[in-house]
């Protein structure tokens, strides 16, 4: 039998034992019975191992790994990274609230995003975050005003757009000229000179983030060369940059993808930094997907199979509101039965119950399934739960964190009452 799990080197913490699919030492069918479906299950060990690869890469360096929490912002997940000493890359005041709720050190928080509001800036200054990653000249002015009004100086870095092609899906490319992110390469030095003159700002670093699900080293190496060119040009004007923040974006193995290992990639990048004489600067990175993506699966029940002339449909109880990546990016995630049958597989489009043709989870998948079977959608740790919605008035799924043989419910299933609570009738 062709068991797809044997082809998934990126997911060593998911395995079949006695025919049952397990995350670490916990059987997924038992979790589904206890908590219902759809159910997200995460391996703590996978997260810590992914983090360790970066930590090995930075051994002996002054480095700070800031988990880009938009990938998965559940408190139980944040706590894992806070306890491991990570900082956090946030993109909203709400995310700051979550970081503070798990007791993380605000000094290790960096604030990215093109549309920070004055209220969010105020909140972040009051919390004492480490750095604002400013994305435009206009934002420099507003942050300067907000900081002066608060009687503070805001530590800033300017996000530069290095104009390199990360060779990924257009919706997750962020470092090309046509993207909304960062300050254009040729305006960077002037922007830094201007920032250095603003009394409410304290210029401390430089940053970039070129895209997501990057599976080759070359775009990173190109971006690093461009960043280091700019560090030289900026410092030639007398501004000292204490840190270089290189963003996130490293890909994971969804379907035989072969991204470079974090430690091997950083070995190459650090060689460039050292060769240019900037090895003494603090290094920061903002990985999201590569710290959580393959830690998670989404367990779902097959509700119906529906044969058709053109296609067979396998209708499961997870949908685009739980797993938005296929609908948003035509993304591929493996779908595996929890307990394989011994019959013959048919080709199915695996879809959810939502009333949209865009509500599909996998296309043309060879599966041997019947109603009532459980399946696991793999690689569901990043950009699934954090993007989940209530579309079709579906409550958001429950989440479980597994640590060895122990399973902890870190989010209960959302109820209808939860959804209706903030609404009221007119008049
Ligand atoms: C989304 C994002 C990241 C993380 O990207 P991943 O591909 O998940 O590693 C890092 N930095 C910024 C500014 C981002 O917007």
Instruction: Dihedral sign for Cα 278, 222, 169, 132, please.
Output: positive
pLDDT band of residue 177 (cuts 50, 70, 90) is confident
Domain 112-287, CATH class in plain words: alpha beta
Q: Ligand 1 centre and the CA of 211: distance in Å?
A: 7
Pocket test residue of 77, 81, 88, 89 for ligand 1, highest count of atoms within 8 A of CB:
89
The rounded distance, in Å, linking the Cα atoms of 103 and 131 is 18
pLDDT tens for 107-152 read 999 999 999 999 999 999 999 999 999 999 999 999 999 999 999 9
The stretch 292-305 carries a mean pLDDT of: 98
Give the H or E element holding residue 100: helix 93-101
Asked if residue 290 has its Cβ within 6 Å of ligand 1, the reply is yes
The Cα-based distances of 95 to 99, 336, 354 in angstroms read 6, 33, 28
- Residue 165: per-residue pLDDT: 79
State pLDDT tens for residues 29-52.
999 999 999 999 999 999 999 999
Q: Which atom of ligand 1 is found nearest the CA of 207?
A: 13
Catalytic residue positions?
355
Instruction: Give the whole-angstrom CA distance, residue 49 versus residue 293.
Output: 12
pLDDT of residue 302: 98
Residue range(s) occupied by CATH 2.40.37.10 in the chain: 5-43+293-420
pLDDT of residue 1: 42
What CATH homologous superfamily does 5-43+293-420 map to?
Answer: Lyase, Ornithine Decarboxylase; Chain A, domain 1 (2.40.37.10)
Is pLDDT of 275 > 90? yes
Distance 290 CA to ligand 1 centre (A): 10
Using a 6 Å cutoff on CB, does residue 381 contact ligand 1? no
pLDDT tier at 311, thresholds 50, 70, 90: confident
Q: Where in the chain is the domain with CATH 3.20.20.10?
A: 112-287
């Amino acid at each position: 039998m062709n068991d797809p799990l044997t082809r998934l080197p990126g997911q060593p913490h998911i395995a079949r034992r006695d025919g049952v699919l397990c995350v670490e030492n916990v059987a997924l069918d038992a979790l589904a019975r206890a908590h219902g479906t759809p159910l997200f299950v995460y391996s703590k060990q996978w997260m810590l191992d992914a983090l360790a690869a970066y930590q090995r890469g930075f051994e002996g360096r002054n480095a700070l790994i800031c988990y880009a929490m938009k990938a998965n912002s559940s408190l139980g997940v944040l706590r894992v990274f806070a306890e491991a000493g990570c900082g956090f890359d946030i993109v909203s005041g709400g995310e700051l609230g979550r970081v503070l709720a798990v007791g993380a050190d605000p000094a290790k928080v960096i604030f990215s995003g093109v549309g920070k509001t004055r209220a969010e800036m105020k909140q972040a200054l009051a919390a004492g975050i480490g750095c604002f990653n400013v994305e435009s000249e206009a934002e420099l002015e507003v942050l300067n005003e907000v900081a002066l009004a608060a009687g503070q100086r805001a530590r800033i870095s300017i996000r530069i757009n290095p104009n390199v092609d990360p060779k990924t899906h257009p919706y997750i490319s962020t470092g090309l000229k046509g993207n909304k992110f960062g300050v254009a390469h040729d305006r960077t030095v002037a922007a830094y000179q201007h920032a250095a003159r603003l009394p409410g700002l304290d210029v401390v670093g430089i940053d970039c983030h070129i895209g997501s699900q990057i599976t080759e080293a070359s775009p990173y190496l190109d971006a690093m060369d461009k960043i280091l060119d700019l560090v030289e040009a900026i410092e030639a004007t007398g501004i000292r940059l204490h840190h270089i923040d290189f963003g996130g974006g490293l890909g994971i193995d969804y379907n035989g993808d072969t991204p470079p290992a974090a430690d091997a990639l950083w070995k190459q990048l650090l060689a460039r930094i050292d060769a240019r004489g900037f090895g003494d600067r603090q290094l920061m990175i903002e990985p999201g997907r590569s710290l959580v993506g393959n830690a998670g699966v989404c367990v779902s029940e097959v509700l119906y199979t529906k044969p058709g002339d053109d296609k067979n449909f396998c209708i499961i109880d997870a949908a685009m509101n739980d797993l938005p990546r296929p609908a948003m990016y035509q993304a591929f995630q493996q779908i595996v039965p929890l307990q394989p049958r011994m019959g013959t597989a048919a080709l199915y489009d695996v879809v959810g119950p939502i009333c949209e043709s865009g509500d599909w989870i996998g296309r043309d998948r060879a599966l041997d399934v019947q109603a009532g079977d459980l399946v696991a959608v793999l690689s569901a740790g990043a950009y699934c739960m954090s993007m989940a919605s209530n579309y079709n008035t579906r409550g958001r799924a429950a989440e479980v964190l597994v640590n060895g043989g122990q399973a902890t419910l870190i989010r209960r299933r959302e109820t209808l009452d939860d959804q209706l609570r903030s609404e009221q009738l007119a008049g």
